[in-house]
Structure 1
Amino acid sequence: MKLNSVAPKEGYTWIRQGIWLFKQNPLGFLMLVFMYIFAAQLAVIVPVIGVFAVLLLTPTLSAGFMTACRQAIQKERISPMVYLIALRSSALVRKRILQLGLVYAALILLMSFALSLLVDFELLIPLMTSDKAITPEALRQIYLVLFFGGLLYVPIAMLMWFSPVLIAWADMSVAQALFSSCLACWTNKAAFFLYLSIWSVILIAIPLTVGMIFDAIDLGQAASFIIAPLSMAGLTVMHCSFYATWKACFTEEEVLAS
């Protein structure tokens, strides 16, 4: 497995490649993303255990989606069972991918604890449990959550970006995968910055702008019928573009059977 260094402009190319990949099997990819979102929402209903299960299985599901991308390129049918491909692999891969899930869950727990020290969540709880109007202070806390949450998640994202695939496809240990993933992201940080900036505009800025425009003309409820499907499609294309980042940052000297 060889680590590559790419030009900053590649961040834009990854998105174009993600769009191309999505076009190879749009229904299959939309099905996988919808399944993940639906399962995650159901799991959250179960206190503590449900959230832990989602975090534990996130690397497994990530490896499964990347495998689906490879299958789409090879014109193979995408099945929901692709999500379990890492767990159905060798005992060693299964053990490592679940260990990686534990690491991810622990990192998210630490991030949540650190965030609780920086933000007053007591002001936000009423917003989630009632229909009360948002106060200026509560709005400030929401912005703080988004800012500090994003800042704290960056190192976690760097560690986890390629780790599931490096374990599933490159036969790396958990420690090796985490280190290699972080190194790859840091080596290509300029390309990733452009890549994530574009996705931030597509998935956050544009929907917010559309929502504000519809609110201004008293059509706020109608906005969801436009924003929801577009956001779903954008989120799916973004997941497809993850495969493009993998192919750009790493050269597989030997492609292992999935």
Structure 2
Amino acid sequence: MKLHIVPARAGLEWVRLGIRVFWRQPMALAALFFMTMAAMSLATMLPLVGPAVALGLLPSATLAMMVAAADASQDRVPTPALLLVAFRTGKQRLNHMLTLGALYAVGFLGLMGLSALVDGGQFARVYLGGEPLTREMAESGSFQAAMWLSLLLYVPLSLLFWHAPGLVHWHNVPPVKALFFSIVACLRNFGAFTVYGLSWMGVFLGAGVVISLLVTMLSAIGLGAGMAGGIMVATAMMLAAMFFSSVVFTFRDSFDAPHHDHGDSSAAASPEQDS
């Protein structure tokens, strides 16, 4: 497995490919993304351990979208079965993915614990869904400090896990090594990932402006707020699905294509070059 160093302009290409591959199979990719979010939401309802279980599912959910986007880029139709792709590629990879999920849950909850030292846990309770956000709370200096600390700490956590699901799935790399290779790849391609992040910010901001104008027009002609809210939610879900569809291209360009043994069931979902 060899790390590739790509130019900064590759970040913009990753965004373009994510958007393009989404529109190849918009219904399939949007439905799969919705199902992954629904599964995580259901997991949060489990007594006591719900939030931790939901966090532990995020690497598997990310992998499902990566495999689905790889399939769509090769003109294959992603199916709902990909929701379980992390659990159908052998016992060793299954154990690795479960470990990766546990490490992510521990890391994220540790991050929330550090933020609780700043505001007594208000931000953590709001973020994890245990407490509603009020205006007074949002304007609190300690709450804002905890929020910014969480965002700052989430950057290295995100880089650690960015490529890790793909490394486990396609290259059968053990979880701790996958985390190391992931953050090294992100840092070595810092320019490309900076352009990638800024480009997605531009896409989301641009879409927000367009939707705001559309909602204003709908309100002006007397259509209900329910329709406007539905459009905003649908757009947000679609953009999020596009974003997750682009992740596989960051992985594909950062590492060599995997070499599979004969009969390896994960070979069919290899992230080959997009046509």
Q: Which TM-score tier does this pair reach, normalised by the shorter chain?
A: 0.7 to 0.9
* 1:25 aligned partner: 25
Residues 115-159 of structure 1: CA deviation (Å, up to 9, x unaligned): 111235448979985696x13863545543442221110111111
* 2:253 aligned partner: 248
User: Are 1:158 and 2:159 an aligned pair?
Assistant: yes
Which residue type is aligned with residue 118 of structure 1? Answer: V
Per the TM alignment, residue 186 of structure 1 is displaced from its structure 2 partner at its CA by 0.4
Secondary structure at 1:172 match in 2? coil
User: Are 1:38 and 2:25 an aligned pair?
Assistant: no
Given that 2:100 and 2:175 are in contact with CA atoms closer than 8 Å, whether structure 1 keeps it comes out as yes
User: Are 1:74 and 2:74 an aligned pair?
Assistant: yes
Q: Could you state the TM-score of these two structures normalised by the residue count of structure 1?
A: 0.85
User: Are 1:61 and 2:66 an aligned pair?
Assistant: no
* 1:119 aligned partner: 119
Identity value in percent:
26
Which residue type is aligned with residue 70 of structure 1? Answer: A
Secondary structure at 1:75 match in 2? coil
Structure 2 unaligned spans of 5+: 267-275
Q: Which of the numbers 236, 243, 246 marks the counterpart of 1:238? A: 243
Given that 1:167 and 1:177 are in contact with CA atoms closer than 8 Å, whether structure 2 keeps it comes out as yes
Taking the aligned partners of 2:254 and 2:108, their CA distance within structure 1 comes to 25
Taking the aligned partners of 1:131 and 1:98, their CA distance within structure 2 comes to 32
* 1:49 aligned partner: 49
Q: Could you state the TM-score of these two structures normalised by the residue count of structure 2?
A: 0.81
Structure 1 unaligned spans of 5+: none
Per the TM alignment, residue 192 of structure 1 is displaced from its structure 2 partner at its CA by 1.0
Secondary structure at 2:230 match in 1? helix
Secondary structure at 1:76 match in 2? coil
Q: 1:111 to 1:128 in 2, by over 3 A?
A: closer
Residues 90-117 of structure 1: CA deviation (Å, up to 9, x unaligned): 1111111101111111101110111111
Secondary structure at 2:57 match in 1? helix
Q: 1:115 to 1:169 in 2, by over 3 A?
A: same
* 2:271 aligned partner: none
Which residue type is aligned with residue 21 of structure 1? Answer: V
Per the TM alignment, residue 34 of structure 1 is displaced from its structure 2 partner at its CA by 0.8
Secondary structure at 1:100 match in 2? helix
Taking the aligned partners of 2:163 and 2:257, their CA distance within structure 1 comes to 13
Question: How many residue pairs were aligned?
Answer: 256
Per the TM alignment, residue 203 of structure 1 is displaced from its structure 2 partner at its CA by 3.4
Q: 1:211 to 1:140 in 2, by over 3 A?
A: farther
User: Are 1:171 and 2:172 an aligned pair?
Assistant: yes
Taking the aligned partners of 1:140 and 1:212, their CA distance within structure 2 comes to 32
Per the TM alignment, residue 53 of structure 1 is displaced from its structure 2 partner at its CA by 1.6
Taking the aligned partners of 2:213 and 2:137, their CA distance within structure 1 comes to 18
Taking the aligned partners of 1:131 and 1:246, their CA distance within structure 2 comes to 36
Which residue type is aligned with residue 161 of structure 2? Answer: M
Taking the aligned partners of 1:6 and 1:93, their CA distance within structure 2 comes to 28
The aligned runs of 1:134-213 (5 Å cut-off) are 134-135=135-136, 138=139, 140-141=141-142, 143-203=144-204, 207=208
Runs of 4+ in 1 over 6 A off after TM superposition: 123-128, 212-215, 217-220
Which residue type is aligned with residue 71 of structure 2? Answer: Q
